[in-house]
Structure 1
Amino acid sequence: MSGRSSIHSGSVLARLLWLVIVSSAASCCCSSAAVNISTSSDVIVRCMEREKHALLQFKQGLVDDSNALASWESKEDCCEWGGVACDNQTGHVIMLDLYYNLLGGEIGPSLLELPYLYYLDLGYNSFNGTIPKSIGSLSRLKVLKLAFNFFSGSIPPQLGNLSNLHTLDLSSNSVTFENLKWVSQLSSLRYLNMSYLNFSRAVNWPQSISQLPSLMELRLILCQLPDVDMASLSFINSSTSLQVLHLPYNFLGSSVFCWIGNVSRNLVSIDLHDNRMKGPIPNAFTNMDFLLSLDLSYNQLEGGIPKSFRSLCRLETLNLLSNNFSDRLEQSIGNLSCAQDTLKSLYLGDNLWWGSFPDDLTRFVSLQELDIDNATMSGSLPKSFRQLSQLRTLRLGHNRLSGSFPDVTGLSLLSTIDLSHNQLNGSLHDSLGQLSSLTEIDLSRNSLNVVLTEVHFLNLSQLLHVDVSYNPAFSFRVSLSWNPPFQLDELKMASCKVGPAFPKWTLTQRRLSRLDLSNAGISDSIPDNFWDLPCSLSLLNLSINQIHGRFPNLTSRNCRIYLIDLSSNRFCGALPPFHKNVSALLLSKNKFTGDLSSICSTQAPSLEILDLFYNLLSGELPNCWFQFKELLALNLANNSFSGKIPSSFGSLESLYQLQLQRNNFSGELPSLENCTRLVLVDLGFNNLSGKIQAWIGSSLKEMWVLQLRSNHFCGSIPSSICSLPLIRVLDLSQNNISGVLPRCLNNLTAFSLVSQEVDDLPVPSDFVLQHIWKGAEREYRQDVRYLRSFDISSNNLTGVIPENITYMLGLRSLNLSRNNLTGLIPGKFGQLEVLEVLDLSRNHLSGSIPDSFTNLHSLAVLNLSINNLSGRIPSSTQLLTFIESSFAGNVGLCGTQLNTKCPGDGPSEDPEVTGGAESDGFITTGFYVSIEIGFFTGFVGVCLTLLRKTSWRCSSV
């Protein structure tokens, strides 16, 4: 159920905020009513001196920085004080309402001097300390609200003495308790809210709650309610008038249905979302004739909507989002037939429903919200769809719907349409332009064949969000002078036919926050007045077009913009100083020229991402990078920069991605040991020299990728390189590195583990890596997590291959070729069972190929050529797929792959020795291509042989 996982945390916060607002509103209403009591009579009755003195003592213990209790003066009648209400006949204080007065401090014992108090609301303040036990002595108290404070310690069980209490709200505090026996004594209680308290140790909570005969509303939201067996509970004293039951964000299992089915038949609202309920929905709702709202979303429920729902004839809201329902959708909808006149909101998305859009749904004439997003629904929308005249929100995205956009004539209230990620392939009905209430439309990632004209927008004056991205046949035909009737907040037309001319009507949109015209076929220049961007704009994406011209100087713009993406266009000329409030500037694959000297005059403290990859930039880099303290990713690769890498790079402590490959940088690498967050460093294909510094291993513990290929680094590999636990790509090839391979390579954890946990580590969304794999350069993004590559080829290494390299069990590519390694190939090489590429060629290795090579079942590329290996090539189905070039230049080797018989196999002609006159050039892509062709041919041959020799194949199983 991944369709909503990215927004689930956002929806949780939204719901919690809603609950806070609702609670606040309810409390405000109560407050107003309470304070007015003392002024409802014409008879003037002054408050009791003793009670006034008690209130003044209470005030002395408070912190009142906002001066909310300014009216509490000793010379005044306390019945006139703010938040105080008295009995009109006796003058006794009966209500104290200090809700949301920003008060702090502790509650003193003086409240005991208010014996006639029946209403106490101290909610939404900053009171701390413990809840006083003395509150339990206020015997006349009917309403007690202490919500949203900082009370701590245990809840005093003396609260159970408040036998007249009908409203108790202790929500959002830090109090603790192990049982709720005191709650069961509150026989008059009608409203109980203990949301956001920790119930994890209160295993008896269902028993206590079930003994409240008058309870009408129960709210235990986000309480860590443990899953306890409720099947054996006694319901003798249970409330028969319970109407509201809200228990979301807990750990409740499916046994809660048994409790619900026995508690009350008068339930109006049930909310159990975000719990741990599994299996099918039981028949607990059969006799709930008054139920209006049911929320079972974000659980693990299965099956479909049960037949017992046929009795829910008053149901208005049903939320089953994000479960594992897999029933036929039409059948489940049929079980809601009794509610077809009342149902207003239906949420069924993020499930595994199958079948087409149910025709029966069009009979639900009161339906206002319909969400069946991400539900594998197929077919087309029926013509009767237009009967849903009350519909306001339609979300059917991420399905398999086909056909045309439906006729929406008569759906005048529709404000949101989401049909994204489907297979719609027809046209747009002109009736779309009549939806005068429409604010949001998302048709992205379909195959709509539409020519969008002004008619489609005729009356859409309320439109705010438009996303028609990734409809390759979607085009626009509007006049150059068109002035749309709307002001958009968001416009996304990526991968549509917008061009070749730049859409000048977008200049009329002065409230845009996001504009995406990427890959839209635009081959025009941008009008000058376009760059007078509205301050609301936070994202501008014009990438992958053929837009030409110069990038203007935007330094005078004072508004913040998060992203400007102009990559893959034809912008040219020198770069201006960067926009001072931009966070991400992506200008790769253009034709910008000149140097970067202008950045030193740039005050861009918010810059996080700078991508200038593949331009025509040159010159030395200025040494003023310390001013970009927030910089996370810097890509200057594939330009013609020269000179030394600036030392000020070492001050970029937030940097996690540094790509300077394919330039002309020279000199030694400056210290980056303070850049401890670095994940990717690619300095390949430059003229850098000096030793590989020890701080790389000792300081850069977060490193995933280190590529220093094709430079002039020298000296030995420092042993600290083995201290990179997360390294996935280590490429030191084509340098002048000497010495021996470190004996600690097995300490490279990501290389040594074959673990899903390692593969699942998160990758930054903007991560891009250019890496040579199987002889060809590839681009990796999120799939970098699966790479495990160690390449130290084309250096001057000597000595033997250490045996601990065979414990790097997660390796998928190992290249030690073109060195001066000697000795035997370690016998345990066969342990590297996920190895796909192995190149040990052009060394001085001797001895035989270990028999364990037969275990390398994943091997696709193998090169052992030009060594001193001897003996028989081990025989396995996988090794038989490799052709002669994989083993050539080893005079003593014999076997089928070389067409050479081994001693004892019978006479054969001497094989022609290859490789003696072979040039010492690098292995080409053609070499790998020939290997892959040989692998395929050999594999097919072996499969045909196995199919023909059935008896031999079966006997080897």
Structure 2
Amino acid sequence: MFLVHLRSALGFISGVGVGDANDIICLEGERQALLEFKKGFIDDNGMLSSWGSEDENKNCCNWKGVNCRQTSHVLELHLGAYQNNRVQRLQGMITPSLLALTHLTLLDLSGNNFNQSHIPEFIGSLINLKYLDLSYADFGGPIPLQLGNLLHLQNLNLEGNNLTIIENLKWLSRLSLIKDLDLSFTNLSVANDWLEVVSGLPHLTTLTLWYCNLPPMSLSSLPPFNYSKSFTSLESLYLGGNQFDTIPKSFGNICTFRELDLSSNNLNGQLFELINNLSAGCARDSLEVLDLSWNQITGSLHNLAIFPSLKEINLHHNNINGTVPKTIRNLFNLEVLSFSSNFLHGVISEVHFSNLSKLRYLHLSNNSFTFEFSFNWVPPFQLEAIFLGSCMLGPRFPNWIQTQRNISNLDISYAKISDTIPMWFVDLAPTLRVIDFCSNHIDGWLPDLSTKCLYLEKINLSANLLEGPLPLLPTNLSILNLSENRFSGSISSICKINGGLLKHLDLSNNLLSGQLPNCFMHWPSLVILNLAGNNFYGEVPSSLGLLSQLKTLSLSNNSFSGNLPLSLKNCSLLTFINFENNRFFGKVPTWIGEDLPQLIILILRSNKFYGSIPLNLCWLKYLRILDLSINDISGSIPQCIDNFTAMAQKGNSSTDIISSDYSYSSGENFIIGEAYVDSARIVWKGREDMYSKSLGLVKIINLSSNKLTGKLPSQILSLLQLVGLDVSKNNLIGEIPQMIGRLKNLETLNLSSNQFSGEIPSSMSELTFLNHLDLSDNHLSGKIPSSTQLQSLDASCFAGNPGLCGPPLSQKCWSGEQTPNQSEASEEYGDEFWKWFYATTGFGFVVGFLGVCGSLLLKDSW
């Protein structure tokens, strides 16, 4: 909705130039002023290309964006960046030559780039201005007080900049003719006088103050106003994105009120009380739009039919519970009904909609509704958008949907539908742009959508039971998600999606097979590519490297082979790579570290990579997961490992979710933002689990099951936020770093099946979060450090180290210097010695005795 508003702001006035301007010659002084004005801009898109000194361009009234309106004076400058469905952005500064246009009544510079410069004070000297639009033009700093000199101003739009006010808004009080005022995204946190000022503007019709940091009590703490006398013309009040916690009861006395937007504030308490504040006065009869979405409103749904003129009611994303009263049917003028993402429940029947013939948008997703309609029910309305995700619509496919001939967006995801897609579906309205049937039990084959659903932009049929080959699909798709189904065969048919608009392609976890077609050049805007969990084989085509916008690439769990294509180095925006469980071979490419600076996740697990770990990987300062396990990698672990600064620094909640954001156009007036949350199976805590939203919290290095040699570098101790380290099943030697206890966030540590020696560092007792430790099968010796954490582990964690002693092992340590093995060895040695001593002594006695006796017997005298 923000982008919709942006588009309307940028294109507020689309008509430029005049019809019979050839008969009008502009004044030379004004022409020269415009040429000087042009010098302040960088015009890469040629917006001002018609502004010239040549004879054919001498008449400035014919220049693009200039309007003289049957006079020789320049009256209007339409230089907004968005015009005629094109974006032509100027960059630069506004020069004072503009002051020569003394008759200027309209100045539109919206959407251009002024690089955080201040709004020039001299604009306040253009005293004949009636319309000033500087929205989304990248201005910064304070709003100049001189704008208060524009006494004829009727429309002022400063939305979408980085503006502040110095002290208050008193300069606004001089603009007595103002009708439309938009200061959205301006920091008004110190403007305690805002309500007093705007209520004194007698002609004010529309006031928009979205996301202005208005304080929570500003509506209720100010002295009471007689709103019915102050706001004599106010029709639309947009105050979304602030900190308001209540609706003043006096608002109900504004008899001209038609629209009230208090979305994304801190409204709380019972819905009944908030509604009462509006319904107590004459606003009850005039109110047409009420938006209280994205708040913390509680209680049950009020009888909204007390507002007889209501056209739009938006209560989505609150904490409202209970059922929907049947009195909703008495809102005869209702066009938009949005209760999504609350705690509502109960049955929705035909009775609720019996009188809603004007309804166009129905949003009831993410509640616990059960829909009970007769199979042949024909609704009284024609909907343009249906959002019923997580509502109980099944088990049959809703038959009433086929009656909707204007539908653009259709979301019936998580709706417990166990049925095939009906034949009539492909004959739905040609206006259909978005379908989302994910997470149902829809089976059968997907019909051919390429001929009758030409304008489809998003298809999400993931997590169903669909099977068979991929059908032909519309050429202009932006999003295609067919993951977690049973599709089989080749994917060559997707090459028909060649409109250049595809941004999201997810065919993961199917039964698809064959080699990848070399048609990635058709998708220059692709951001998401997920082909994991299929039966693809062969080499990855080099055209994959043409995807310069790619952020997520997952080819895991297939049978791909060969080297990674060098062309992938061109995908410099990649943040997520998962090539796990394939047959890729060769050395780990150095270009991964050199050319993919944004990389956050790198998983090359279970392939056939060999050679050493390239030092260039240390350049990946945003890396959070590095998994090179189960390969044939040799050499030592790079000492530059401490350059993984994302593993050293504590993150924040805004970066915990690893996602790839993008947007796409849905219909003529909508730009939809999407965020694809990356997911991966991570080996951690001794098991393999799928992580998605928590993936960004997992900071892991896994180098296990390779042929690494040398010592574990002490630089790893700099990675203070590391939660998992696995270097097991290698040939590492030396001692465990003495200060291993610095890694206080470690939850899993696996050093097993190496040749580590020496004692276990005493600092390991400081790893209080450690719940999975494996030091088995090394050459460690000495006493296991004492700590609740270490002694609670199973003895198998230390097995295969004959020199270790102490709990949880059964071998006891001597109080002296000797280890139990040394003492046992001494005892064994002692026992053996005495056995040997007695045996040899006895043997010697016998031999000696026999020798003596023999010698005696040999003497003749004996």
Query: What is the rounded CA distance, in whole Å, between the counterparts of 1:841 and 1:177 in structure 2?
Result: 62
Q: Which residue of 2 aligns with 1:714?
A: 610
Question: CA separation of 1:893/1:427 partners in 2, compared to 1, >3 Å: closer, same or farther?
Answer: same
Query: What is the rounded CA distance, in whole Å, between the counterparts of 1:335 and 1:911 in structure 2?
Result: 88
The alpha-carbon deviation at position 811 of structure 1 amounts to 1.9
Query: What is the rounded CA distance, in whole Å, between the counterparts of 1:150 and 1:645 in structure 2?
Result: 42
**Mapping of residues 395-434 of structure 1, within 5 Å:** 395-401=291-297, 404-409=300-305, 411-434=307-330
Give a deviation string over 1:841-894, Cα, whole Å, max 9, x none.
Answer: 111101122233344343332222221122233344544543433333322233
Give a deviation string over 1:446-467, Cα, whole Å, max 9, x none.
Answer: 3333333322222322221111
Give a deviation string over 1:665-702, Cα, whole Å, max 9, x none.
Answer: 34443333333333322221223333323233233333
Give a deviation string over 1:139-190, Cα, whole Å, max 9, x none.
Answer: xxxxxxxxx9999764269869x8xx8x866664999999858978x9xx67
Match of 1:350 among 241, 252, 264: 264
Contact preservation (8 Å) 1:179, 1:202: no
Query: What is the rounded CA distance, in whole Å, between the counterparts of 2:67 and 2:388 in structure 1?
Result: 58
Q: Which residue of 2 aligns with 1:787?
A: 698
The alpha-carbon deviation at position 266 of structure 1 amounts to 10
Contact preservation (8 Å) 1:727, 1:748: yes
Give a deviation string over 1:204-236, Cα, whole Å, max 9, x none.
Answer: 954x677x6x94648765399xxxxxxxxxxxx
Query: What is the rounded CA distance, in whole Å, between the counterparts of 2:24 and 2:395 in structure 1?
Result: 80
Query: Alignment partner of 2:592: what SS?
Result: helix
Contact preservation (8 Å) 1:487, 1:509: yes
RMSD of aligned residue pairs (Cα, Å): 4.6
Unaligned runs of 5+ in 2: 36-46, 51-58, 81-88, 661-674, 825-862
Does residue 299 (structure 1) correspond to residue 212 (structure 2)? The answer is yes
Q: Which residue of 2 aligns with 1:281?
A: 192
Query: Alignment partner of 1:673: what SS?
Result: helix
Does residue 451 (structure 1) correspond to residue 404 (structure 2)? The answer is no
Q: Which residue of 1 aligns with 2:158?
A: 222
Match of 1:325 among 232, 235, 244: 244
Query: Alignment partner of 1:797: what SS?
Result: strand
Which segment is superposed worse, 518-527 or 882-891?
882-891
Q: Which residue of 1 aligns with 2:367?
A: 471
Q: Which residue of 2 aligns with 1:590?
A: 485
Contact preservation (8 Å) 2:141, 2:162: no
Query: What is the rounded CA distance, in whole Å, between the counterparts of 2:616 and 2:248 in structure 1?
Result: 64
Give a deviation string over 1:218-272, Cα, whole Å, max 9, x none.
Answer: 8765399xxxxxxxxxxxxxxxxxxxxxxx973104x2146668x6999988765
Query: What is the rounded CA distance, in whole Å, between the counterparts of 2:25 and 2:481 in structure 1?
Result: 69
Q: Which residue of 2 aligns with 1:233?
A: none
Does residue 196 (structure 1) correspond to residue 91 (structure 2)? The answer is no
Q: Which residue of 1 aligns with 2:96?
A: 155
The alpha-carbon deviation at position 99 of structure 1 amounts to 11
Does residue 733 (structure 1) correspond to residue 629 (structure 2)? The answer is yes
Does residue 308 (structure 1) correspond to residue 223 (structure 2)? The answer is yes
Contact preservation (8 Å) 2:143, 2:163: no
Does residue 891 (structure 1) correspond to residue 810 (structure 2)? The answer is no
Does residue 256 (structure 1) correspond to residue 168 (structure 2)? The answer is yes
Contact preservation (8 Å) 1:701, 1:724: yes
Contact preservation (8 Å) 1:869, 1:892: yes
Q: Which residue of 2 aligns with 1:391?
A: 287
Q: Which residue of 1 aligns with 2:76?
A: 123
Match of 2:553 among 637, 651, 658: 658
Match of 1:797 among 687, 701, 708: 708
| TM-score normalised according to structure 1 size | 0.69
The alpha-carbon deviation at position 817 of structure 1 amounts to 0.8
Question: CA separation of 1:9/1:873 partners in 2, compared to 1, >3 Å: closer, same or farther?
Answer: farther
Contact preservation (8 Å) 2:332, 2:357: yes
Query: Alignment partner of 2:229: what SS?
Result: coil
Contact preservation (8 Å) 1:584, 1:608: yes
Question: CA separation of 1:177/1:554 partners in 2, compared to 1, >3 Å: closer, same or farther?
Answer: closer
Query: Alignment partner of 2:214: what SS?
Result: strand
Which segment is superposed worse, 580-589 or 407-416?
407-416
Contact preservation (8 Å) 1:101, 1:124: no
| TM-score normalised according to structure 2 size | 0.76
Query: What is the rounded CA distance, in whole Å, between the counterparts of 1:728 and 1:204 in structure 2?
Result: 42
The amino acid of 1:325's aligned partner reads F
Contact preservation (8 Å) 1:510, 1:534: yes
Does 1 or 2 have the higher relative contact order (CA < 8 Å, sep 6+)?
Answer: 2
Question: CA separation of 1:444/1:828 partners in 2, compared to 1, >3 Å: closer, same or farther?
Answer: same
Does residue 675 (structure 1) correspond to residue 571 (structure 2)? The answer is yes
Contact preservation (8 Å) 1:99, 1:122: no
Q: Which residue of 2 aligns with 1:636?
A: 531
The alpha-carbon deviation at position 436 of structure 1 amounts to 2.7
The amino acid of 1:817's aligned partner reads S
Q: Which residue of 2 aligns with 1:489?
A: 384
The amino acid of 1:122's aligned partner reads L
Query: What is the rounded CA distance, in whole Å, between the counterparts of 2:320 and 2:623 in structure 1?
Result: 44
Question: CA separation of 1:511/1:777 partners in 2, compared to 1, >3 Å: closer, same or farther?
Answer: farther
Unaligned runs of 5+ in 1: 1-6, 36-50, 69-97, 108-116, 128-147, 225-247, 368-387, 914-957
The amino acid of 2:158's aligned partner reads L
Which segment is superposed worse, 537-546 or 823-832?
823-832
The amino acid of 1:861's aligned partner reads H
The amino acid of 2:243's aligned partner reads N
The alpha-carbon deviation at position 201 of structure 1 amounts to 11
Match of 1:777 among 673, 683, 688: 688
The alpha-carbon deviation at position 912 of structure 1 amounts to 14
Question: CA separation of 1:169/1:653 partners in 2, compared to 1, >3 Å: closer, same or farther?
Answer: closer
Question: CA separation of 1:119/1:102 partners in 2, compared to 1, >3 Å: closer, same or farther?
Answer: closer
The amino acid of 2:702's aligned partner reads D
Query: Alignment partner of 2:696: what SS?
Result: helix
Q: Which residue of 1 aligns with 2:678?
A: 768
The amino acid of 2:223's aligned partner reads S
The alpha-carbon deviation at position 491 of structure 1 amounts to 0.7
Contact preservation (8 Å) 2:488, 2:510: yes
Contact preservation (8 Å) 1:200, 1:223: no
Query: What is the rounded CA distance, in whole Å, between the counterparts of 2:191 and 2:361 in structure 1?
Result: 38
The amino acid of 1:451's aligned partner reads V
Question: CA separation of 1:286/1:274 partners in 2, compared to 1, >3 Å: closer, same or farther?
Answer: closer
| Count of residue pairs brought into register by the alignment | 763
Query: Alignment partner of 2:529: what SS?
Result: strand
Q: Which residue of 2 aligns with 1:530?
A: 425
Query: What is the rounded CA distance, in whole Å, between the counterparts of 2:244 and 2:351 in structure 1?
Result: 41
Q: Which residue of 1 aligns with 2:666?
A: none
Contact preservation (8 Å) 2:168, 2:192: no
Question: CA separation of 1:665/1:62 partners in 2, compared to 1, >3 Å: closer, same or farther?
Answer: closer
Query: Alignment partner of 2:290: what SS?
Result: strand
The amino acid of 1:827's aligned partner reads Q
The alpha-carbon deviation at position 61 of structure 1 amounts to 12
Q: Which residue of 2 aligns with 1:520?
A: 415
Query: What is the rounded CA distance, in whole Å, between the counterparts of 1:216 and 1:122 in structure 2?
Result: 14
The alpha-carbon deviation at position 733 of structure 1 amounts to 0.9
Question: CA separation of 1:538/1:779 partners in 2, compared to 1, >3 Å: closer, same or farther?
Answer: farther
Question: CA separation of 1:850/1:541 partners in 2, compared to 1, >3 Å: closer, same or farther?
Answer: same
Query: Alignment partner of 1:494: what SS?
Result: coil
